[in-house]
Amino acid sequence: MAMTLRLPEELDRRLDELAAQRHTSKHSLVLQAVEELVRAQDAQEKIDRAVDYTFERYGDVVDRLADA
């Protein structure tokens, strides 16, 4: 799917510089950044589910440890 991305001038300039340093395109850098953001969000959601499960299953133990 195509989309238009409008960047502030300073960010566009910085992205140009980074792309040149890495010998790649701005498009590639933006894709990498979005993929990393999605991976980080997925990881956070997994952590949140694990914490929720742990407190549902062992919440009473955690409470007792906190009071000890």
Q: How far apart are CA 37 and CA 9, in angstroms?
A: 22
Q: How far apart are the first and last CA of the chain?
A: 56
Contact present, 15 and 29 (Cβ < 8 Å): yes
The domain ranges of the chain are 37-68
DSSP summary character for residue 23: T
- pTM for the complete prediction? 0.75
26: helix, strand or coil: helix
pLDDT of amino acid 65: 87
pLDDT of amino acid 66: 86
pLDDT of amino acid 17: 98
Instruction: Please identify which residue in the block is written with the tokens 């133990």.
Output: 61
Q: Could you read off the pLDDT tens digit of each residue along the chain, which spans 68 residues?
A: 889 999 999 999 999 999 999 999 999 999 999 999 999 999 999 999 999 999 999 989 988 888 87
